[in-house]
Amino acid sequence: MVFAGGLAIPGWALIVCIAVGELLIGGALYFILKKVILDKEPDPSPASYTPAINHETTPTYTPAQTHETANVTPTPTSHATEIA
């Protein structure tokens, strides 16, 4: 027997079924992982993380340091670096 048609379900219905299935699978995974990871009681052992020591020092600048200019002479441009 030869079938002379396409799918038995229209394309839009197939897309809707796949989208609903993905939403159901995603929701199930969310609740499973929430129960396994987020609702788990934390370990009573102390954390192994120790924050670094923060030294509250601000650098001091003199006006001469902030407004220094460098003695630079411009170099002539070649044909490769010349901007048209």
pLDDT in the model for residue 20: 98
pLDDT in the model for residue 8: 86
Output the pTM of the full model. 0.43
pLDDT in the model for residue 38: 87
Single out the residue of 21, 44, 25 nearest to residue 33, CA to CA. Answer: 25
Q: How far apart are CA 35 and CA 79, in angstroms?
A: 68
pLDDT tens per residue, the chain (84 residues)? 556 667 788 999 999 999 999 999 999 999 999 999 888 887 777 667 777 787 776 666 555 555 556 666 766 666 666 665
Q: How big is the chain, counted in residues?
A: 84
Enumerate the domain spans of the chain.
10-41
pLDDT in the model for residue 68: 53
